[in-house]
A and B are shown apart, each in its own frame.
Chain A
Amino acid sequence: MKEYVMGNGAIALGALKAGVNIACGYPGTPSSEIIETLAKYPHEGLHLEWSVNEKAALEVAAAAAYSGARALVTMKQVGLNVASDPLMSLAYVGVEGGLVVVSADDPGPISSQTEQDTRRFADFARIPVFDPSSPEEAFEMIQDAFDYSEKYKTPVIFRPTTRVDHGYASIEVGDKYIPKDYEGFKKDSGRFVIFPRLSYKNHGMIEDRNIQIGNDFSDYRFNTSEGGPSKKAVMASGVSYMYAKETLKDHPQIKLIKIATAYPFPESFMLKQLEGVEEILCLEELSPYIEEQLLKLAGKHHLTLKVDGKLTGHVPHMGENSADSVAKILKAYLETDLEAEYSKKDIPTLPVRPPVLCAGCPHRASFYAVKKAMEKEKTYYCGDIGCYTLGNAMPLDMVDTCLCMGAGVTMAQGFSHVDSDGKAFAFIGDSTFFASGINGVVNAVINEADITICILDNSTTAMTGHQPHPGTGINMMGHDVGKISITNILNGIGLKKVITVDPFELDKAIETVKECAQTKGVKAIIFKSPCIAIEKSSKKCTINDSCVNCKKCIRETGCPALILTDGKVTIDQSLCTGCGLCKQVCPMNAIGGATDE
């Protein structure tokens, strides 16, 4: 039966068809729906988990693959940085059962810190990488990835990009999931214990093997060419191939080459394709990776070939490609006329709709409490990755730094060591705390930092679509395993002051912040209140006749439910959750509502 699914769904269904035995991951856009889809389809016998972070996910999967099982690991590209330690070593050791690391790249970037290219990571680790161009292809290719992983006993990387992950297509869904039958772990310390001698030996083996894989990939079914023969050709990878095809369907005389396996580069396939070609345009997103591979190939074989791409300024280095940008590049390359572009010159000024914290979001109240408490102090506000990064927007303006997952806790320490007059705060969400915040707290205690850690505990992983985490107590197998207490963890590390407050009890929250800021050492405040998208509220606030329209509520909180109607402050009842923050900010007691009940 065919079903209409997202690219990430296609990857999950392909993995099920390949008999995957274990799947681990950490949520991150654009990869999160893979694990979620596995949970929705029949998967009895599959171990499924949201791991605490990407490193843990890969290590859990590695042992399963040592045992002959098929293992899938999912993450976004910056997650691969976290998993890079096990990945680099695992590349040397290898696997027994197929192990596929899906690392989803985010050109743009649309929702990431970096525009890094996972194909470079594959090259760095000397392991194969698969690069699908559509959801349909991803479904087939993930199955191939497991086969190649087992054939060459190496972990492989599968790297879709946002438009493949989030595009929808019809996929054939099998009616039954049959997990792979595997033999189990056979002890062999010469193989599975990484020592310098083993690394030396395997390094040579890997380089020889990669030449073989390159030859194998030269016959791979998704490295293809169409059109031509032509002196001017186009080489593309990933979704850029689809963009090129969109334009080249009107130019069938031009040869279009698709590279689905960027590393090891399918050299003999490419050499054959280059016969009669004098000039070639490389279309890809992020790094000029296949472009560089082609340049190496041309150098190695003394080819007379003009190579256009990112390195020659024909294709931009940053951002996403699109059907339009590729059409423009192609038409310049082929010296054909461009269709007239839509003239945008007379378009009226469009309203800007920036992302903001939701109406009723507890993070707004937490930030506001710290802001009020520290009004007269010199402060450092170290943010982290999650919805609460939006605390940087006006009027809150409560995020001074944001670097990577977990960095807020440790960066606050750095500020405290170089400026003893300032008050350093770390803001970290509950899921991020479990993923990579705990080590930082240990570091703070042992190195005598003077910081206040604000844990914004909304009982979910909100930003990526509300996945469970260790603090929520339910795992991906659907088992209630009990909540892991953040307070107990912090007490265990040795914090003397760990206070839990409801951020919507504003006065109490402000007093707590003041108390912690005045105490030397490492202190923590757990601002506990559920995400409003999870726990729906029917409460509403309303404005009464005492309102003098001073707009303090709007100016101080920036809550999107507070709107001006004909110049008067009103509350949008469709947005308001009755959180009561504005009520506590109002100097006139002009806001009442359901929180009184």
Chain B
Amino acid sequence: MNKDVLICGVGGQGTVLASRIIAASAMSEGNTVHSAETIGMAQRGGPVTSHVRIGDEAYSPMIPSGKADLIIGFEPAEVVRNIGYLSADGLAVVNTSAVKPVTESLAETGYDGSSMIEYLKDNVNCIFVDGEAECTKLGSAKFLNILLLGIAAGSGRLGTSKDTIISEIEKRVPPKFKDKNIQAFLSGFEIGENKGESK
């Protein structure tokens, strides 16, 4: 299997855990996996990306432009920032809840994500989800990453089985949040299955 998955968002949203689970799941199904993450000056509130490359023919640690099969976007502007990576027939899973820049109160831009969502609607094959609303149902914003992972899995674009991913989630989340995370994954999975191939 050859698959390129790009995960993007802002620091603090839990993108790294999502990328680790995708990598571990693909590996436990016998694939070669490489990944690369933003490290260094990146911190809470800065743009972050994880590039997960599955398969033997992936050489560059980061996905070349136009080659990503799937983008898992934790924030609408971050999806647009990375849209050049998506392949022509790729899919973007997009959380529509915008995260304002931490400097917004100092230098107002009025950013609320709407122009990004409009742009994505017109140009890209997307599954949109109101992450804030879904997480309120689940009880905490902390489940956003697993919810989005569930949607990606449900869409059929990840190429790894549902059960493999669930067992990798179980290995990586604290025991007391295990059930909630599985619930988040399954509710995401259902959204992904239902909206998977609709433009």
Contacts and interface: CB of A to CB of B under 8 A. Distances in A.
A205 B32 CA distance: 46
Interface in A542-595: 551, 554-555, 558, 560, 562-564, 569, 574-575
B130 to A, nearest CB: 18
B139 interface: no
A554 B105 contact: yes
Nearest to A321: B60
B35 to A, nearest CB: 4
B162 interface: no
Identify whether the interface residues of A are mostly helix, strand, loop, or mixed.
loop
Given A4-B24, A344-B84, A348-B119, A111 B41 contact: yes
Given A350-B81, A354-B103, A558-B106, A249 B57 contact: yes
B32 A170 contact: yes
Contacts of A563: 100, 104-105
Interface of A: 4, 29-30, 110-111, 134-135, 162-164, 166-170, 239, 242-243, 245-246, 249, 322-324, 327, 339, 341-342, 344, 346-356, 358, 394-395, 551, 554-555, 558, 560, 562-564, 569, 574-575
Contacts of B10: 353
B108 A564 contact: yes
B23 A168 contact: yes
Contacts of B45: 353, 356, 560
28 contacts: A111-B40, A164-B61, A166-B36, A166-B37, A167-B34, A168-B33, A169-B34, A239-B60, A239-B61, A242-B60, A243-B60, A246-B64, A322-B62, A323-B65, A324-B65, A342-B66, A346-B119, A347-B119, A348-B80, A351-B101, A351-B109, A356-B102, A395-B106, A554-B105, A555-B106, A558-B106, A563-B100, A574-B141
Given A170-B27, A353-B47, A560 B61 contact: no
Given A239-B60, A349-B115, A355-B46, 5 more contacts: A243-B59, A342-B83, A347-B80, A355-B41, A560-B102
A477 to B, nearest CB: 26
Interface of B: 10, 20, 23-24, 27, 32-37, 39-47, 57-66, 77, 80-81, 83-84, 86, 100-106, 108-109, 111, 115-116, 118-119, 123, 141
B125 to A, nearest CB: 14
A250 to B, nearest CB: 10
A347 B10 CA distance: 19
A351 B59 contact: no
Contacts of A135: 34
3 tightest A-B contacts by CB? A560-B102, A323-B60, A323-B64
Contacts of B32: 170
A323 B34 CA distance: 15
